[in-house]
Structure 1
Amino acid sequence: MVTASQCTTETVFDYSWKQVVQAYWNRYPNPSSTHVLTEDTIQREVRDGKLYSRRLLSKTNPVPKWGKRFYNNAPVRIVEDSVLDPKKKTLVTFTRNIGFKKIMKVDEIVEYSEQKDGRTLAVRRAYISSQVFGFSRAIRAFGIERFKSNCNKAASGFNYVLRHMFPNTSAAAHATAGATNANASETVSTVGTNQIQQATVNKTETIKMAGKVGYAYLKNQVVKLAQIFSIKN
């Protein structure tokens, strides 16, 4: 029985699903993908309104000193199957190495899906196994850490390609929108403060009412912040 270690990561791209799909087929080369040596499309067809593709890639990654006794850092062949569903707006890819499988076998599934805010969520799941007796646990642990590192590189490289393909729809635009909303919130807060200060000149009942309104406002903001951090975490 071969035991597999699992790992899941999520990445949100500040681009539409259509843009991400277009960039997906053009994401190599990029500054973060120097370990990707070749990529070739060997099969592609449309069935039931879905695009099915199979590609062959070769990659290389440096190994720690203890790993050199099992692996000589030769390029690894990887098969990538994908299904693109334009109706559901999902792109699912499944990759697996076809070399050195006894040393470390990596099965990776990635799903790109459209979010309600117009951005694209990528969920990566990796299943890593090894058949090297006495070292399988260490190799699986190494594979998980390498997977996490490669996920960061993949996201960085993908964003690089997206920025160059769609320069007018970048994270900067979302950042600007966020800054605008923050300024608007600050303006509302300032107006609320001025109103409360003006209320101090009026009767005691008005002051109490303003205090209740201010408390409700602050409580609402705290709940929203708690929800945002909960989602991020």
Structure 2
Amino acid sequence: MKIFENCHLFHYPFEKVSAAHWQKYPNEYATHVVAVDTLDRKVLPDSQTLYTERLITCRQGVPRWILKLVDGAQECYIREVSYMDLKSRTLTLLSSNMTFCDRLRVHETVTYSPHHELNATVFRQEARIEALACMKRLANIVEQWSVDRISQKASIGKLGFENVLKQINLSVFHQLPVPSPDANS
């Protein structure tokens, strides 16, 4: 098993970051994401938590040797479950691959929470990658390739998400009412 960890500070308030999460795809940095389908969304009873389950379809370029391990399939499906807790002001995402999970399991946890001193949002990411017994000889190679790939995608993903945040910030700015010249008279 290999573990990938990442932390980043988005210089936007938590409310903007958590709202932007739902508009994250499509963006020009995440062209591998083909579709995002919401399967379920509800407020959990006796709480202030929004539960959402989504299916994310990705099409990624992978090396030939990996394609052979996954029978040539290039599309993969990821199940994402999120909890938006309004009381604690945290957004937690739990993702796992549904495709190829008999050979490789990837479990990712992402949390967004407000920074306590800055008007910013803390992003924490952890991915656990495990190649299964059927690939015992190749396990370390496949796990390391997966960690490297997640690391690369995380860097690109941050750029894409920053872009989404900037666009949302600009659209909110452009929607503000412009005072008329007669207002000061």
Higher share of residues assigned strand: 2
The one-letter code sitting in structure 1 at the alignment partner of 2:164 is V
The one-letter code sitting in structure 1 at the alignment partner of 2:112 is Y
Q: Distance in 2 between matches of 1:126 and 1:95?
A: 9
Partner of 1:137: 140
Unpaired runs of at least 5, structure 1: 170-233
Q: Distance in 1 between matches of 2:66 and 2:80?
A: 25
Q: Secondary structure at the match of 1:68?
A: helix
Partner of 2:51: 52
- Structure showing greater radius of gyration is 1
Partner of 2:97: 97
Q: 2:36 aligns with which of 21, 36, 39?
A: 39
Q: Distance in 2 between matches of 1:168 and 1:45?
A: 28
**8 Å contact from structure 1 (residues 61, 73) kept in 2:** no
**1:59-208 → structure 2 map (5 Å cutoff):** 59-71=58-70, 72-115=72-115, 116-131=117-132, 132-167=135-170
Q: Secondary structure at the match of 2:149?
A: helix
TM-score (norm 1): 0.69
Q: How many correspondences in the alignment? A: 167
Cα deviation code 1:180-220 (max 9, x no counterpart): xxxxxxxxxxxxxxxxxxxxxxxxxxxxxxxxxxxxxxxxx
Q: Distance in 2 between matches of 1:13 and 1:167?
A: 16
Q: Distance in 2 between matches of 1:109 and 1:65?
A: 28
**8 Å contact from structure 2 (residues 61, 74) kept in 1:** no
The one-letter code sitting in structure 1 at the alignment partner of 2:144 is A
**Relative contact order, higher structure (CA 8 A, sep 6+):** 2
**8 Å contact from structure 1 (residues 60, 73) kept in 2:** no
Q: Which runs of 4+ in 1 moved over 2 A?
A: none
Higher share of residues assigned helix: 1
Identity over aligned pairs, percent: 27
The one-letter code sitting in structure 2 at the alignment partner of 1:99 is T
Cα deviation code 1:126-150 (max 9, x no counterpart): 0001121310110000010011011
Q: Distance in 1 between matches of 2:170 and 2:88?
A: 26
Q: Secondary structure at the match of 2:170?
A: coil
Partner of 2:176: none
Q: CA deviation at 1:68?
A: 2.6
Q: CA deviation at 1:73?
A: 4.3
**8 Å contact from structure 1 (residues 62, 73) kept in 2:** no
Q: Distance in 1 between matches of 2:23 and 2:153?
A: 18
Q: CA deviation at 1:42?
A: 0.7
The one-letter code sitting in structure 2 at the alignment partner of 1:140 is E
The one-letter code sitting in structure 2 at the alignment partner of 1:77 is Y
The one-letter code sitting in structure 2 at the alignment partner of 1:7 is F
- RMSD across aligned C-alpha pairs, in angstroms? 1.6
**8 Å contact from structure 2 (residues 40, 53) kept in 1:** yes
Unpaired runs of at least 5, structure 2: 173-185
**8 Å contact from structure 2 (residues 50, 84) kept in 1:** yes
Q: CA deviation at 1:88?
A: 1.2
TM-score (norm 2): 0.86
Q: Secondary structure at the match of 2:87?
A: coil
**8 Å contact from structure 1 (residues 91, 111) kept in 2:** yes
Partner of 1:24: 21
